[in-house]
């Protein structure tokens, strides 16, 4: 709204009456509105907040939500037509020509890298003939790194590197590093502290229990620590290597051993290190405030926080999507050849992380194609394609170990993805195309309605975003869409379309549509989703700030910003540390309590050698019990038909049973009639268990009784 709407400025200052009128107006300045409100946009945001509140479980009013979201869209569109300052932030696009061809690369180094690539491909060979197992060795690691370094040296633009090295050398030569503490640095520091709190607070308790996947992972980590350096870990349908080496590193550095904490600490760190690239990409596509708000919204978010705490590979997807897209988009926009190399390295590493990242190459190709068909690519198309070739080759070199394993054992690498995409394990429930459309709809609406029903890494049936962030994401998407219609910047269209593209690993679960949506396989979409939400947030705050006419107005703007941020922080804190924690513990078996009982027994009157867990269908994973006890290679399972093997064991004995397992309990009481039975109160509904303790004196009495029976038949 124009500023002169609020002020009456006379044009003829020679008129006495007008001068007096002007003086009166000046005297009334203290009573003006503190800021000009972009009221159409504010109403749109309010409508979106109300709409999303109607979609919060358990009571939902879908019709009202649709109505309010529709009204919100209309007000955003009206705001756009009215040219409110929300839409002032136009993404700058560089139209300078991008000149790069293969004539200005180091041909000798390029040829050397090609030879090294072929040698390295051969060096990654199976450990034995007929065995589908490739391992890292000193030789193939050296050749792999040499191939990458040689290729990068051949194609890198050395001028930016020389400038950076010169500045670094100059800094160290002066032996002084000055850190200027500005208000922005302080703000960034406080924001980082808040995010660190959300990501690492109560990490040992949330998640509170392990399940079978964790046992499989820790067995692989234990293999690494023993010196079995696999390129691909075939246990549990096959897994890429990155998490296992990361966890082994954490276990050594933080001295946490082969434990659940090592898994969670590794993945929590992976989740955290994605956030700086979200900040950088938000800054590249908007400004530093968009970057900061995206950093904070993603940092406190329930979605990203939960999948980073599970201790599985899930956060490795957004971890590598973020730098891949940042360097790709910055490379295209700022015509930086080296950024394509960095993007290729991030892409190649990501393919060693989580299988969902295998769709990322298609997203990269789509981004390039989108750029090439827009006017901003004029004069740079050939060079951009050349730079894409560099990106692809770089990523292939980084991907080389898994590439070689895929050639000798494609079924191990593709098994998990193919069983979800193709009807190899389960037939399609209807037309694959219709399933795809249904999956696409469910994934696109997961931010507002339901993030799926997988309780191990989500709160079943609730939206993936909190009320405030969901409303901001909706508004941000509308802003960017309308901005694209008005200015045709390819980045705007890519930002919107990258959301469904990065969720394709979940959407393409055609054989198992019930697994879509899921927070883990859609994790790559975290990057554009929170940037879109940040664009909306930055837009409204910037508009209010620019239109603030008094110090009171500016403080009011700050108060509004802090209130919204505090609100989303509170909502996400409640989602992670109360709702998710409670729901997870309701579903998870209490193996930590069983492990604590066995440890207490071993530390007091017995030993772990004489402690047993009697398996029962759909009960605890006895391998997880071993990890909780501190013996990751020990499986505490003892089936009832093996009970007689305990008769000759010396010392006190301990048996853990599910209360439903009455048959096993009866057998134990026959074998050890003087054994002592306890019911352990877990404090969780349906999670109590029996402790059957056989003291030493009881064992002696039983042995004496058996001896008497043998002597006096």
pLDDT in tens, 292-334: 999 999 999 999 999 999 999 999 999 999 999 999 999 999 8
Q: Are strands 653-657 and 676-680 parallel, antiparallel or unpaired?
A: unpaired
CA dist., res. 415 & res. 412, Å (int): 5
The whole-angstrom separation of Cα 177 and Cα 541 is: 34
CB-based burial label for 61 (10 Å; 0-12, 13-18, 19+): middle
- What does the pLDDT average to over 405-409? 94
| pLDDT-derived band at 91, boundaries 50, 70, 90 | low
Confidence at residue 11, expressed as pLDDT on a 0 to 100 scale? 38
Q: Regarding predicted confidence, which is higher, 707 or 248?
A: 248
Q: Exposed e or buried b for every residue in 407-424, given b needs 16+ CB within 10 A?
A: ebbeebbbbebebbbeee
Cα–Cα dist 625/635, whole Å: 8
Res 660: pLDDT: 95
Residue 447's pLDDT is: 98
* Six token digits for residue 426: 């389960």
Place of tokens 């990203």: 304
Q: Confidence band (pLDDT; 50, 70, 90) for 43?
A: very high
The CB-side HSE value for 374 (13 A sphere, CA atoms) comes to 23
**What is the pLDDT at residue 265?**
97
Element (H, E) at 392: helix 381-408
Span 426-430, mean pLDDT? 92
Map 131-161 to HEC letters.
Answer: CCCEECCHHHHHHHHHHHHHHHHHHCCHHHH
Report residue 97's pLDDT band, with 50, 70 and 90 as the boundaries: low
pLDDT score recorded for residue 353:
96
pLDDT for res 711: 45
Q: Are 319 and 326 in contact (CB under 8 A)?
A: no
Question: 3-state DSSP: the chain helix, strand, coil percent, rounded to 5?
Answer: 65, 5, 30
DSSP-assigned beta bridge partners for residue 628: none
State pLDDT tens for residues 116-137: 999 999 999 998 887 889 999 9
Q: How far, in Å, CA of 115 to CA of 297, rounded?
A: 47
Q: Could you count the other beta carbons within 10 Å of the beta carbon of residue 586?
A: 12
Mean pLDDT of the chain: 89
Contact 164, 170 (CB under 8 A): no
Binned at pLDDT 50, 70 and 90, residue 7 comes out as very low
Strands (E) located in 463-595: none
Mean pLDDT of 658-665: 96
DSSP track, 539-564 = HHHHHHHHTB-SHHHHHHHHHHHHHH
Q: What is the DSSP string of 102-116?
A: GGGS-HHHHHHHHHH
pLDDT number for residue 30: 46
Whether pLDDT at 681 is above 80: yes
Identify the CA nearest to 316 among candidates 87, 505, 154. 505
State mean pLDDT over 92-96: 57
Query: Which one is predicted more confidently, 30 or 140?
Result: 140
pLDDT surpassing 50 at residue 54: yes
pLDDT given for residue 321 in this prediction: 98
pLDDT of the residue at 88: 64
What's the burial of 82, exposed, middle or buried (CB within 10 Å: 0-12/13-18/19+)? Answer: middle
The pair of structure tokens assigned to 608 is: 């772990």
pLDDT of residue 697: 65
Tell me the per-residue pLDDT of 513-568, one tens digit each, with 9 for 90 and over. Answer: 999 999 999 999 999 999 999 999 999 898 888 888 788 888 989 999 999 999 99
Sorting pLDDT into bands at 50, 70 and 90, what band is 202? very high
pLDDT at 339 exceeding the cut of 80: yes
- Using the predicted structure, report yes or no on whether residue 373 has a pLDDT greater than 90: yes
Q: Do 350 and 324 contact (CB within 8 A), yes or no?
A: yes
Contact present, 623 and 666 (Cβ < 8 Å): no
How many alpha carbons lie under 13 Å from residue 271 in its C-beta half-sphere?
Answer: 33
Would you state the pLDDT for residue 89? 62
E strand or H helix at 239, and its extent?
Answer: strand 239-240
Residue 436's closest CA among 486, 510, 365? 510
Residue 525 CA: distances (Å) to CA of 54, 360, 504, 538: 24, 11, 10, 20
pLDDT band with cut points at 50, 70 and 90 for residue 173: low
- In this predicted structure, the answer to whether residue 574 has a pLDDT above a threshold of 90 is yes
* 608 touches 634 (CB < 8 A): yes
500, with CB counted inside 10 A (0-12, 13-18, 19+), is: middle
> Which tokens sit at 212?
């079978």
For residue 4, the model assigns a pLDDT of 36
Q: Residues 93-97: what's their mean pLDDT?
A: 58
Measured in residues, the chain has a length of 713
Rounded Cα distance, 447 and 473, in Å: 9
3-state secondary structure (DSSP) of residue 676: strand
| pLDDT for res 553 | 83
Residue with the larger pLDDT of the pair 291 and 160: 291
Percent pLDDT > 70 in the chain is 89
Residue 352 pLDDT class (50, 70, 90 cuts): very high
CB atoms within 10 A of CB 70: 11
Q: Which of 76-85, 370-379, 681-690, 700-709 has the lowest mean pLDDT?
A: 700-709
On the question of pLDDT at 675 being above 50, the answer is yes
pLDDT at 394: 97
Q: Confidence class of residue 403 from pLDDT cuts 50, 70 and 90? A: very high
pLDDT the model gives residue 491: 94
pLDDT at 168: 75
Asked if pLDDT for residue 155 goes beyond 70, the answer is yes
Residue 706 in this model has a pLDDT that exceeds 60:
no
- State how far Cα 624 lies from the chain centre: 24
Is a pLDDT exceeding 90 seen at residue 646?
yes
**3-state class of 90 per DSSP?**
coil
**In the Cβ-directed half-sphere of 357, how many Cα atoms lie within 13 Å?**
27
> With bands split at pLDDT 50, 70 and 90, how would you rate the model's confidence at 166?
confident
Per-residue DSSP letter, 654: E
SS3 117: helix
Domain boundaries, the chain: 1-32, 102-126+133-160+203-585, 591-711
Closest-CA residue to 60 (of 465, 448, 622): 448
For residue 404, is pLDDT > 60?
yes
For residue 339, give both structure tokens.
């950024």
Distance CA 103, CA 557 (A): 54
């Amino acid at each position: 709204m124009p500023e002169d709407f609020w002020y009456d400025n006379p044009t003829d200052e020679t008129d006495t009456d007008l001068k007096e009128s002007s003086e009166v107006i000046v005297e009334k300045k203290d009573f003006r509105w503190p800021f000009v409100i972009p009221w159409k946009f504010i109403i749109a945001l309010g409508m979106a907040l109300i709409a999303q509140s109607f979609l919060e479980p358990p009571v939902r009013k879908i019709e009202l939500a649709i109505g309010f979201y529709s009204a919100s869209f209309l007000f955003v569109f009206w705001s756009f037509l009215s040219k409110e300052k929300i839409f002032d932030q136009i993404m700058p696009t560089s139209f300078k020509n991008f000149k790069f061809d293969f004539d200005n690369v180091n041909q000798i180094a390029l040829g050397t890298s090609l030879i090294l690539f072929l040698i390295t491909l051969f060096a990654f060979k199976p450990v034995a003939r007929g065995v589908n197992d490739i391992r890292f060795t000193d030789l193939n690691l050296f050749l792999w790194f040499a191939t990458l370094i040689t290729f990068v040296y051949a194609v890198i633009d050395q001028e930016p590197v020389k400038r950076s090295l010169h500045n670094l050398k100059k800094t160290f030569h002066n032996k002084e590093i000055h850190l200027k503490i500005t208000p922005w640095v302080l703000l960034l520091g406080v924001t980082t502290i808040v995010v660190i709190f959300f990501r690492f607070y109560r990490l040992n308790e949330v998640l509170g229990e392990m399940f079978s996947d964790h046992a499989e992972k820790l067995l692989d980590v234990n293999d690494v620590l023993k010196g079995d350096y696999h390129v691909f870990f075939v246990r549990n349908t096959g897994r890429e290597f990155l998490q296992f080496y990361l966890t082994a590193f954490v276990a050594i550095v933080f001295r946490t051993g082969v434990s659940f904490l090592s898994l969670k600490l590794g993945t929590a760190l992976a989740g955290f290190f994605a956030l700086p690239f979200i900040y950088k990409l938000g800054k590249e596509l908007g400004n530093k405030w968009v970057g900061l708000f995206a950093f904070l919204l993603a940092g406190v978010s329930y979605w990203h926080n939960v999948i980073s705490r599970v201790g599985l590979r899930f956060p490795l997807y957004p971890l590598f999507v973020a730098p891949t897209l940042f360097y790709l988009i910055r490379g295209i926009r700022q015509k930086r050849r080296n950024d394509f190399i960095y993007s290729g390295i991030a892409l190649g590493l990501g393919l060693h992380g989580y299988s969902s990242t295998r769709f990322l190459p298609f997203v990269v190709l789509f981004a390039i194609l989108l750029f090439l068909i827009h006017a901003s690519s004029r004069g740079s198309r050939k060079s951009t394609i050349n730079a894409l070739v560099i990106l692809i080759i770089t990523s292939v070199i980084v991907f080389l170990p898994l590439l070689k394993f895929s050639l000798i054992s494609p079924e191990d690498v593709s098994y998990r993805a193919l069983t979800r995409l193709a009807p190899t394990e389960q037939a399609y429930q209807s037309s694959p195309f219709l399933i795809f459309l249904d999956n696409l709809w469910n994934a696109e609406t997961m931010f507002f309605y339901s993030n799926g029903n997988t309780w191990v890494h989500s709160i079943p049936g609730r939206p993936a975003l909190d009320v405030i962030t969901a409303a901001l994401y909706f508004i941000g998407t509308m802003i960017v869409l309308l901005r694209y219609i008005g200015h045709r910047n390819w980045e705007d269209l890519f930002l919107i379309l990258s959301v469904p593209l990065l969720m394709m690993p979940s959407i393409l679960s055609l054989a198992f549509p019930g697994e879509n949506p899921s927070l883990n396989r859609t994790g790559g979409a975290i990057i554009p989703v929170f940037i879109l939400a940040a664009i909306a947030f930055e837009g409204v705050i910037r508009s209010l700030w620019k239109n603030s006419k008094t110090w009171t107005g500016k403080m009011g703007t700050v108060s509004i910003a802090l209130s919204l941020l505090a609100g989303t922080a509170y909502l996400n804190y409640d989602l992670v540390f109360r709702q998710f924690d409670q729901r997870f513990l309701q579903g998870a078996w209490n193996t930590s309590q069983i492990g604590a009982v066995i440890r207490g027994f071993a530390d007091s009157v017995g030993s772990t050698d004489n402690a047993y867990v009697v398996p029962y269908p759909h009960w605890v994973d006895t391998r997880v019990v071993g990890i909780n006890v501190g013996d990751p290679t020990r499986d505490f399972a003892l089936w009832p038909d093996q009970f007689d093997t305990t008769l000759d064991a010396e010392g006190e004995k301990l048996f853990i049973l599910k209360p439903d397992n009455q048959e096993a309990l009866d057998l134990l009481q026959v074998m050890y009639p003087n054994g002592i039975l306890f019911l352990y109160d877990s404090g969780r509904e349906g999670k109590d268990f029996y402790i059957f303790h056989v003291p030493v004196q009881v064992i002696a009495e039983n042995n004496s009784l058996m001896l008497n029976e043998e002597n006096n038949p």
